[in-house]
Amino acid sequence: MQQLSEGLHFGKYKLLERIATGGMAEIYRARMTAAAGVTKPVVIKKILPGYAGNSAFLSMFVNEARIAAGLSHGNIAQVFDFGEVDGEYFIAMEWVDGRTLSSVMRRAREKGMYTLPQPLALLIAVEMLEGLGYAHTRLDERGRPLHIVHRDVSPQNVLLSYEGQVKLVDFGIARARLAGSAEPVEYDLKGKYTYFAPEQVRGREPDARSDIFAAGIVIYEMLCGRLPFEGKMPDVLRKLALGDFPRPRDLNPGIPTALERILLTALAVEREQRYATAEAFAEALTRHLHTAGPDVSSSARAHFMGYLFEAELVGEGRPVLLPREFLAQMARWTQSPLERRALREMAPPVREPPDDEEERTPIAEFELPPSQAAAPVEGRMERTTLTLPALPGPGAPPEPGVPPLDAAASRTMGMPRAVTLGAPIIVALTATLALLVSNSTGTFSVELSSSPPGAAIRVNGQPQTARTPALLTQLPADAEHLLEVQVPGMVAWSQTVRAERGTTLAVHARLLPKRIQGPAQQPHRAPPPHEVRMPAERMSLSSVVHAFRVPYLSTAQMRLDPSRTYSVRVEGSASLGHANTVEHAGYFLEGDARLAARESFGVLDGEERLVRHASRLHVFLLDANRTDNHGTLMVRVREWDNDGAVTTLRVDARTHAVKLSRVDRFLLRGLEPDTHYDVVLRDTAESARTRGFDGGPVGRVLGLYGAGEGPETVSGLLTLLEVGRPLRLRGATWLQLAFPDDHLADNTGSLVLEVSPVTAPGTSPAPPPGPPAPAPNR
């Protein structure tokens, strides 16, 4: 954010700070001075000069601003004023001291929460819908409906204050923006098409039910950790028109069936099948919330904001007080079902870096030891945080004889790709120990993180073994230190830090992809299809398009030590319906930077598989219809370095069956069951990668094949295809392939699939269909 040191006068307002610049306006934090010297904080949205000469836009803008100014509701940011100053049109609106919902969801992910806690997400959703319901039902002076439609409901237009208030902004502005656009609608609203309603895709006029659909997408995103419609614009618009998206429980089985029905009603393709009003939608969510979370109160929203943005609030001199009962609730909401049995109390959350939407100075803070902390108020305060003295300014020369830097590799033990609380707890303990040491040796520490994670680190020109996120300790105080962060294919980042002893800084590096410009830019290519019918010989498997996020809540999982070696195998059998009995399961590994992509997933059977550099093991079955499944597979995990100790992991055929969405896999149909096929994977010039460049080529893909209509209705058998290892297939009519992963943002490249019929007569019959034994992970 650009700080305006003296402030700029703009009519009766003083512009203090530029918050953001968009395609239509510049947004400033400002102060209004009224009579008798009374001042009021406001937000000024100045329309960019390019719109000033557009009469259609100005007419629409003034009309929509007049309507927005007439809205007065606790869940809508109040518009106080609109007009013109020296030829610049503006809106003056309520200043909400907080963050956008998009920032909240991003910070929650950085803290290890793949989804927002359900009770909090529903509390936010109900308030958002109440604001929409108020606007939808407004009447003019003569009692006629105004037919107000927001048209741009998205996480960027939902604000959450630090006090827990929920406010909608930008009512009607989307319509004004459309009026001033000379380009097609979908390109003018690029980036927001993922929140369109199907009728908007079909070119029909949106109404209140279009806002209900968009609100349903926002709630889906909070509860499932991803959007229902993802991909390039043409793909998203096609999926929207067809209603093609994963059911909420496919992504998060922790969502109750009743809540899923509510969401699916709001996301109906035909608007006549959705909730008729936003109030009806809100009432359905409220009824469910009273049943599923009767102990949650509206104050939890404020505590959650303090929990997420503790560092920023403390840096502004606003201590964060988190009640004991709220921390206990967070422990229940954020732990997986397995961890809920083992952990009864949650450690205080580690301080996170500033929101990467804004450029802010890193904040120094520490937690008071129990002997110095203020006595907790009975039933109210669990802990408090205070800031350290202000950081010294730059310019001090480095001290001679700087001792070697100790870079603690938190990635090794902290599972940065895991969606668990384990990483924050370990980092917090490590930071506490480092702080105690640094207080006595005249040094300070830096908690360095990056987006994306797993970046290489250099400190004062020296490469470090750690990858982000990492805790850098023993940095001599009162000296400047150069931090550099780099990921292949992204613009390098650097920053100089300096602090007093005892300080622990949170520094976050936001890395941007390198842009190829001019004639070297690659031509646009259509994405590979998700489904192909035979005959087909060479097909492209993309690690970006044909990859699925492993749904953690649907897998049997076990923590592992990345420094140790394990052998894993399966015992027993399970039924996937009818007579289809299986004795194998898919697995996926989370791990540190040493875990290669080709070792991160595969198929488990009766033979032992070697597992190294892994922090967590996930085991699952692939089956779209788990209602008729029964039985349990026993996974034996033997630890090599602990006298061969064996731990057993139970895989339930119903609970731990994963369904793949049509947008997350490749499907080949039309195979002849009486024909033998040779199926081979080939590498390409740009090898498929699922763990970034450093993870190496993946060289394999998880397969499922069977006879019948397809994996949507018929169970299949798991297999593993590897580059250069042909698979002889017989008795199948379809083959499904996908790359399991937990972090799709660093995926690149592709493989080629070749399927050719074997027509040589007189050959001996192939064995009956069954999963070929995958090669051991070496």
What are the phi and psi torsion angles at 185 (to 5°)?
-55, -45
Q: How far apart are CA 42 and CA 32, in angstroms?
A: 7
Answering whether pTM is above 0.85, one says: no
Q: Give the number of other CB atoms < 10 A from CB of residue 397.
A: 8
Mean pLDDT of 299-316: 89
DSSP conformation letters of 651-672: EETTTTEE---GGGSEEEE---
The strand ranges marked E within 392-486 are 406-408, 443-451, 456-459, 462-467, 470-476, 481-486
For residue 26, list its beta bridge partners. 21, 46
pLDDT tens-digit map of 78-121: 998 888 888 888 889 999 999 999 999 999 888 878 899 999 99
Question: Does residue 306 have a pLDDT over 80?
Answer: yes
* Chain centroid offset of residue 172 CA: 28
DSSP assignment, residue 35? G
Is it the case that residue 364 has pLDDT exceeding 70?
A: no
**pLDDT at position 264:** 94
Q: How far is CA 204 from the centre of its chain?
A: 31
Give the span between the Cα atoms of 150 and 176, in whole angstroms.
11
CA distance 195 to 240: 9
pLDDT at 36: 65
What contacts 318, CB < 8 A, 6 or more positions away?
162
Three-state DSSP state, 497: strand
Position 421 pLDDT exceeds 90:
no
Give the Å distances, CA to CA, from 158 to 76, 145, 210, 314, 386.
Answer: 9, 24, 16, 24, 29
Confidence of residue 182 (pLDDT cuts 50, 70, 90): very low
Share of the chain above pLDDT 70, in %: 78
Q: What is the reported pLDDT for 718? A: 93
For 116-144, write each residue's pLDDT tens digit.
999 999 999 999 999 999 999 988 888 88
Residues 6+ apart with CB under 8 A from 671: 534, 677, 729, 732, 733, 734, 735, 755
Residue 50 DSSP label: G
| Mean local confidence (pLDDT), 501-519 | 67
Q: Is 152 labeled as catalytic in the residue annotation?
A: yes
Does 769 or 528 have the greater pLDDT score? 528
User: Partners of 533 in the beta sheet?
Assistant: 669
DSSP assigned state of 772: P
Is pLDDT above 60 for 389?
no
- The number of beta carbons lying within 10 Å of the beta carbon of residue 691 is 24
The domains of the chain, with CATH numbers, are 2-94 (3.30.200.20), 98-292 (1.10.510.10), 309-389+415-510 (no CATH), 531-758 (no CATH)
Tokens of 520: 């070297």
Instruction: Give the model confidence (pLDDT) of 283-301 as tens digits.
Output: 999 999 988 877 788 889 9
Burial class (CB in 10 A: 0-12, 13-18, 19+), 658: buried
Catalytic one among 152, 250, 623, 742? Answer: 152
pLDDT at 737 exceeding the cut of 90: yes
User: 632: burial class by Cβ within 10 Å (0-12, 13-18, 19+)?
Assistant: middle
Dist CA 589 CA 611 (whole Å): 9
Query: pLDDT confidence of 173, banded at 50, 70, 90?
Result: low
Mean of pLDDT values over 750-771: 65
More confident residue, 523 or 602: 602
Name the band, by pLDDT with cuts 50, 70 and 90, for residue 636.
very high
What are the angstrom distances between the C-alpha of 67 and each of 57, 61, 681?
15, 10, 60
> Bigger pLDDT: 1 or 361?
1
- The confidence score (pLDDT) of residue 514 equals 66
Say if CB 247 and CB 265 are below 8 A apart: no
The residue assigned the tokens 């597992």 is 611
Q: Could you give the CA distance from residue 716 to residue 90 in angstroms, rounded to a whole number?
A: 60
Closest to 224 measured CA to CA, from 259, 194, 252: 252
The confidence band for 3, taking pLDDT boundaries of 50, 70 and 90, is: low
Out of 332-346, 466-480, 668-682, least confident range: 332-346
**At 435, is the secondary structure helix, strand, or coil?**
helix
> In this structure, how many other beta carbons lie within 10 angstroms of the beta carbon of residue 688?
29
User: Coil, strand or helix: which one is 175?
Assistant: helix
| Closest alpha carbon to 723 in 743, 744, 749 | 749
Judge whether 453 and 110 are in contact, CB under 8 Å.
Answer: no
Question: What confidence score (pLDDT) does residue 413 get?
Answer: 33
Burial class (CB in 10 A: 0-12, 13-18, 19+), 491: exposed
328 close to 345: Cβ distance less than 8 angstroms: yes
Predicted confidence (pLDDT) at residue 484 exceeds the cutoff of 90: no
Q: Are 50 and 145 in contact (CB under 8 A)?
A: no
Confidence of residue 263 (pLDDT cuts 50, 70, 90): very high
For residues 369-376, average pLDDT: 33
Cα separation, 771 vs 175, in Å, equals 56
Q: Are 678 and 727 in contact (CB under 8 A)?
A: yes
